[in-house]
Every structure is written in C-alpha cells, then in structure tokens.
Structure 1
Amino acid sequence: MRLKNENILIVDDDINILELLRRHLQSWNFHTYKAVSVKEAVQILRDTHIDLLITDLKMPGIDGFELIKFVSEHYPKLPKLVVTGYPSVQDSLSVIKSGVVDYLTKPFTKEELKTAIDKSIGERTIIPKATFSEEKNKGYGGIIGNSEKINNVIEIIERVKNNKATIFIEGESGTGKELVARAIHYEGKFSRAPFISVNCGGIPENLLESELFGYTKGAFTGADRNRDGFFQAANGGTIFLDEIGNASTAVQSRLLRVLQEKEVVKVGAQKAEKIDVRIIAATNSDLQEMIKKETFREDLFYRLTVVEIEVAPLRERKEDIPLLVEKFLFKYGVEYKDRFVKITEEASSVLQRYHWPGNIRELENVIQRAVIMCDRIIGVEHLPQSLKYTIDFSKDQLVPLKEIEKQYIRRVLNATNNNKTKAAEILGIDRKTIRQKLSEDEL
C-alpha cells in the first residue's frame, strides 16, 4: 500500500464521525489530519499543505460556516466538502455560495463519500515506489529498513516533519517509536530546536506533573525554588511523551490545556505561560480500551491523534532483519572486537524464522550477546536456545542442534567462571534446565 499525494483535513466535534471518516480515507490510502474544533483546524491549515477540507457545520464555539469563510478568503484554491447532520435548504445554499464542492448529509454511505471526494479533488496518481531510494531507507533518520511498512512510515514523516501538528505513534514495545519521533524532529526544519524525550512510565505518578510542567517555590514540600519542566525545556521544539497511557488524570487534564490553549501552568502557579511545542505521544497500551474503562480521557485521545503513525512489529517486516543485523554487527563488532563480525547463513536463517516478541530491541540484544560469545563469525551455537526452539527442524537436524546447544551452554559457563546462577540468567533458563542439558559429570 502506497499513500496518495493528497493531504486531507477532517473537522468534526463528533469523534465517532471523525473516526469513521479517518478509517474510510485510510482505506483509500489518503493521508489525514484530524481536528475537533475550528481553532485546531486553522492551526493545521497554517502549518501544513492541505489538499481537501472536509468539515461539519454545526460545532460549538466557532462553527463550520466560519471555517469555510476563512478558507475561502485565505486558501481560495482549497476544495471544501461539507458533511452535516443538520441539513437545511438555507445551509445548502449558503455553503454552495461559499464555494463548497459537495454537501453530504449524515448518515452517508462509504460510496457516497468516495464519490464526493473524487468530485472534489479528482483521481490523483499514486506516489511511485521509487520515491525513497534504497540507501535512504537504509538510514533515514536512523530508521533501518526497505519494507513497505517502513516506507509508509517514512512517507508520513516526510509529510509532517516541517509542521507542528500533534502526532501519535502506536506500536508494540521495542519497535522503535522513539526513533520515529526523533526522525520527525531531526529530519525537519525544527531540527535545531530542542527535542525532549519523556518516559511517562519511568517517572513516579506523584512527580510526573511537576516534572512535565515545572513548579513554583513553595508549591509542595521540598520545592525550594522555581523550576521549569520538560515542556518549558522543549519550547520551540518537540516533546516526545512515551507511554502516555501511564499519565494520571491530573496530568491528562493539564495536557489537554496545553493542546487547546498552547500554554502551561506550573504546579503552584496561577499565571499561564504561552508555549510553542510540537507534541509527539506514543504508547504500546490500548488507549481505546482505557477510554472504555474511563482511565484515559477520550477528548485528550482525539487531540493527540491529529496524525497517527503505526510502527509495525518486526514479525510483520522480516525483510528488514538482514539490514538491522548488519547495523548491530557493525555496532557491537567495533565495540567489543575492534572489527566487523560476520554471521553464517544458518544463523541468519534462524533469525529470519523467529517471531521476535520483543521486536528490534530483542534482536539487538541477541546480536550483542552473540558478538560477545563468538570469535569472528556468529553461528547457530551463539544464539539463545529460545530462538531455536521456535523452529520445526527435521529429525536429522535435532542431534547436531543438541550438541551445538551443549557447546553454547559450556561457553557461557566458561565466560561466567562456572557461575551457574549467572549463566542461567544469561541463557534465560534455570539451573535445573542447565543440568538437564549437560551431563552431571560436566557440572
């Protein structure tokens, strides 16, 4: 799947309609920006090239009519499509006079939406696959890979890197979400500004609020001076909020204010401070499920997900494994052996077949340990047994593999001076299993 050229902005205060539109547009390979208010939509329009505006009319505060008027005055060539649940002849005439291309009444079918979009912007050509060269994909902002899923991530980064739209990165632990966030920042025009990474799960809940937003002298016991938080440190640049699902309800409320008003209030302060920060959030938690359990604010979720990036697990892009292995071999070969370490075809095949529940982080750890255990070439015997046990070997392969496994265990025991507890920890097994794998006289 390749993304189309068009960027489409959808504006609706009904989050269910907003999500429905996003899913339909995503199924047609369009790149979308989302806004739940006219104010947010205007901010996106000012920072981003948009090819089609899809908006509701009846919204609290500034309504869709004002947005259409603003767009007609400031972006006269931008096509406009209205979707509304409050149809009237007067509304229809008003928006058509304002240059709206089409007018859909809720509920509408997917086919009706597609017809209206085609009428608004017409069929455009799809971005050719050669947009990103192989060399660029091998090292784009530190992101390694040539797979289609990685190409799609890079395409989105190219679209958002030069604006400050709020971005939400979703993916399993170890997939490289922070790497994607850093690429967005450092590949764009704001790269000279600060990039602040915050692990919300690594800061105690009672400290996260003051760490993020700062505090004033006397705000709490131990607050002996005024102190800026991570948001103030990131002013002008990007703040990356990893594991955002761990944020307390109090922190969520403050984040919502930052997104809505572009200002922060220090703990213990009364006066707000204006701030210019791009927020990138990430999680491996199911925020939709947390919303159902009322542990995560639904309004915050939809303000965080103006642009969504999904980072695929390694098992879904195994064609990238050789490039990643090459990177880690060089990194740890130089660090531990002062030379480039190679890997056998058999060992490489084992890596390709494994399902990698720990993703890239697990792969890096495996290569790091294998480089330490080998001399010049990594073989199957240098890989953890957990990798080999997930593969269906034929019977004639089982005997050699058992012997290779024994050799590996012996090597680990030698490296730990026969410390069986430490060896078991390195191997990911218990002492009893070590005894079972080796004869008692060897131990």
Structure 2
Amino acid sequence: MSKILIIEDEDAIRRVLKKILLEEEQNYIVEEAEDGLLGIELIKKNNYDLILCDIKMPKMDGLEVLSACQKLNPDLPVVMISGHGDIETAVETMRMGAFDYISKPPDLNRLLNTVRIALDHTQLAQENKQLKKKVSKKFEMIGNSEELEQIKSMINKVAPTEARVLITGENGTGKELVAHWLHEKSERNKGPFIEVNCAAIPSELIESELFGHVKGAFTSANKDRAGKFEAANGGTIFLDEIGDMSLSAQAKVLRALQENRVQRVGSDKDIKVDVRVIAATNKNLKDEIAEKRFREDLYHRLAVILIHVPSLNERRRDIPELIRHFTEKIAGEQGTKPKTFDDKAISILEQLDWTGNIRELRNVVERLIILGDQQISDKDVKQFVQLKST
C-alpha cells in the first residue's frame, strides 16, 4: 500500500487532492501537512512513496521543500502543485529534480496518471536498491582482521579515482571481491562491470574476446562482434589472471590504455573506449618480466596502485566469522536450518593449512554441513576433513 504526503497550505485544495486519491482503487494512505516545515518534519519521521507539494506556501516554499527532500531521499518523487502564475517556477522545479508538476485546479485524470507513474518510479527505485544490496552482499568481504581492514581502507581511498589497480594474491583469496568493490565504490558504479578470465580463454581467441572482430577476420567469424572493452565502455573491465595473457594481446591492451582506443580483429578502424582497467594475477609479474613472458611497460601501466590480498593463513582471525557466513549462506541455498560449529571444531579449522584459501574453507564448511550433525563438533572435523598441519 503506497503512502502519499500532501503539502499544501490551502485547506480546500488539500481536501480535493485527498478525496481524489482516497477514492482511487489503489487504497492509498494519504497524509497532510499545511506548510513546508511540517511537511519536512513528517518526511524525516515517515517513509513516503510520493510527495505532492504546493509551490507558494508560508514558512517554507515548495522550492525549499524540494531541495530538502532531495537531500533526505533523492529517490523520493516530488510532484509540484502550481497555480497559473507559477508555471515558470514549476518548470524550474523540474530542472531541480521534481518528478512532475500539476496545475491548479487539478485535473482528475492528469493527477491520477501522474501519481501512478511516480509510484511506479518509486517501486522501481526500491527494487533496484534491493537488487544492488543482493549484488553487494554476494561480493561481501567478510572479516575484521587488520590485514583485511587495510585492504578495505585502500579500496575506500582508491575506488573514487580513475587510477588503474593491479590486485595480487594466491588463488582463492578473494581478488575478484576486491575488484567488485573497487567498481561498486567508484563513480562508474552505474556503468557495466565486465570480467575477463584471461587464463580460461585460448590464446588464439583472447584478442577477439577483448577487442572484438569483423566478419571474415578468421574462419568462424560469421558476423561483426564487439569485444569486452567495448562492452565495458563507461564502466570497468576486470582482467583476471592477466599474467596468462599472450604477448600479442598484451601489446594491444597497452595501446588501449595509452590511447583509449581499440581495433577489432581484422579491422584497421579505431574505436574510442572509456574504461577503467583493474587487473589481477596470482603470478609474480616481475619474475614473468625477467622471463620475457610479460611486458614491463604494460606492468607499469597497470600497477599504478598495487593491492595484495593476503592468504587465509595470514588472516586466521577471520576464520570463525567466515565459517558463520558460509554456514548461513549454504543453509539459505539449501533451504535448511543453519547448523552450528562448536568452539573445538572452529579451533581445529583455525589451525589448518589453507593452501586453497577462502575457496577451500567454503568447500570444507559445505562438506561438514552435509555430512555432520546439527552441531558440528571436533570429531566431525577429524572424521570428514583431511587434516593438514600448518
């Protein structure tokens, strides 16, 4: 049920607006405020889906109310109510961010149509927020160890900039999470986040995957195809396992970084792109440079900011929290009641040598949940987990 606030100093207009809305089949909840100051106080205390606001009012006019609303809740649609002499001002409110305006006396169909559209906008904004929360939760960074807090602090500093970032660390440590958070906290977060696993793409196809190709460029090129750099335009491209990229593709990535342009395979036409590049690797790229397998000039282009993700063995104090997180997540996926780990079981898991890092811990927790009792004990850990000394 949608909640609407009418801010209007004329009693007669308020009554008409309220009557029209309450007679609508949607069963709206309608509240009133006789001036802008009272309206703002109500907005601070309640969650409204729509505001109908007069422009000319004592104490605080509609422009001030609109400005305050945008600071309190930018997604809350505000429809301005204007007299015949207020049309120019009403147009100005649209420039300031008002959803729409309605002239006095209000036309029934115009009012209800505007209200429905505005409420649809509110619902869509709320759904987008929920979706974004789900995405953010999917890539949540769990733990409060000093090592993880340092990474979070670095992300907060670097994300709002356009600086390129090279993320290093062992397999399974969470390099992908760092890349997602750099994008989420950047000015590009409304743009695409395109991920390319350079190790998973055959070397003969990596250039086509990154830069696209034109019809006839090679045997199976039946039509023109845009590459990942074009797909990431306006957003972020994440080059995972970049240490496995061929030297030929590295040269083209270097050109893309230098000139913000790419060429599709089989074409000599430049395509302008605007992307932020984040790369990751589990290799020591300086060793790869020494072995002539990685371009030094590309390394320096990518490694403007270096973020090293520690292994799970280096952040053991996060293991109990990670176990709780995986336990709840797995229970949600399986539709079952979450199991619990007793202190002795957690203590043993904290002491293991986690060569597979967080990915391995997640697999072990899932195995114990499937095979263990409702409360998982040290005996369950010893029975179902191959113990490894640190």
TM-score normalised according to structure 1 size: 0.55
Residue identity in the other structure for 1:269: S
TM superposition shift of 1:336: 2.8
Counterpart contact for 1:336–1:371, Cα < 8 Å:
no
Which whole-Å deviations, capped at 9, do the CAs of 1:47-70 have from their partners, x for residues lacking one? xxxxxxxxxxxxxxxxxxxxxxxx
Q: 2:303 aligns with which of 305, 313, 325?
A: 305
Q: Is residue 176 of structure 2 the alignment partner of residue 174 of structure 1?
A: no
TM superposition shift of 1:189: 2.5
Structure 2 regions of 5+ residues with no counterpart? Answer: 1-135
TM superposition shift of 1:173: 0.4
Could you say what the CA RMSD is over the residues aligned between the two structures, in angstroms? 1.9
Q: 1:276 aligns with which of 271, 274, 277?
A: 274
Counterpart contact for 2:364–2:385, Cα < 8 Å:
no
Please identify runs of 4+ aligned residues in structure 1 that moved more than 6 A: none
Alpha-carbon separation, structure 1, partners of 2:384 and 2:258? 48
Alpha-carbon separation, structure 2, partners of 1:232 and 1:335? 35
Q: 1:153 aligns with which of 136, 151, 154?
A: 151
Counterpart contact for 1:291–1:298, Cα < 8 Å:
yes
TM superposition shift of 1:160: 1.5
Alpha-carbon separation, structure 2, partners of 1:203 and 1:286? 20
Alpha-carbon separation, structure 1, partners of 2:285 and 2:148? 23
Residue identity in the other structure for 1:181: A
Alpha-carbon separation, structure 1, partners of 2:318 and 2:155? 19
Counterpart contact for 2:353–2:389, Cα < 8 Å:
no
TM superposition shift of 1:378: 1.6
Residue identity in the other structure for 2:200: G
Q: Which residue of 1 aligns with 2:194?
A: 196
Q: Is the alpha carbon distance of 1:223 and 1:384 closer, same or farther for their aligned partners in structure 2, counting shifts above 3 Å? A: farther
Alpha-carbon separation, structure 1, partners of 2:286 and 2:323? 34
1:33-432 to 2 correspondence within 5 Å?
Answer: 142-336=140-334, 338-383=336-381, 389-391=387-389
Counterpart contact for 2:207–2:249, Cα < 8 Å:
yes
Which whole-Å deviations, capped at 9, do the CAs of 1:64-100 have from their partners, x for residues lacking one? xxxxxxxxxxxxxxxxxxxxxxxxxxxxxxxxxxxxx
Structure 1 regions of 5+ residues with no counterpart? Answer: 1-137, 393-443
TM superposition shift of 1:283: 0.5
Q: Which residue of 2 aligns with 1:94?
A: none
Counterpart contact for 1:170–1:177, Cα < 8 Å:
yes
Which whole-Å deviations, capped at 9, do the CAs of 1:246-295 have from their partners, x for residues lacking one? 10011000010011111111101101111110110000011111111101
TM superposition shift of 1:338: 1.4
Counterpart contact for 2:237–2:275, Cα < 8 Å:
yes
Alpha-carbon separation, structure 2, partners of 1:206 and 1:190? 31
Counterpart contact for 1:164–1:277, Cα < 8 Å:
no
Alpha-carbon separation, structure 2, partners of 1:281 and 1:384? 39
Which whole-Å deviations, capped at 9, do the CAs of 1:289-335 have from their partners, x for residues lacking one? 11111011111111110011000001111111111111001011233
Which whole-Å deviations, capped at 9, do the CAs of 1:153-190 have from their partners, x for residues lacking one? 11111112122211000000000000110011112222
Counterpart contact for 1:366–1:383, Cα < 8 Å:
no
Alpha-carbon separation, structure 1, partners of 2:232 and 2:186? 16
Q: Which has the larger radius of gyration?
A: 2
Q: Is the alpha carbon distance of 1:146 and 1:253 closer, same or farther for their aligned partners in structure 2, counting shifts above 3 Å? A: same
Residue identity in the other structure for 2:294: F
TM superposition shift of 1:380: 2.6
TM superposition shift of 1:141: 5.6
Which whole-Å deviations, capped at 9, do the CAs of 1:329-355 have from their partners, x for residues lacking one? 101123335112100111101111112
Corresponding residue SS for 1:203:
coil
Identity between Structure 1 and Structure 2 (%): 45
Alpha-carbon separation, structure 2, partners of 1:319 and 1:286? 26
TM superposition shift of 1:149: 0.9
Counterpart contact for 1:354–1:387, Cα < 8 Å:
no
Counterpart contact for 1:350–1:387, Cα < 8 Å:
no
Residue identity in the other structure for 1:294: K
Alpha-carbon separation, structure 2, partners of 1:295 and 1:322? 40
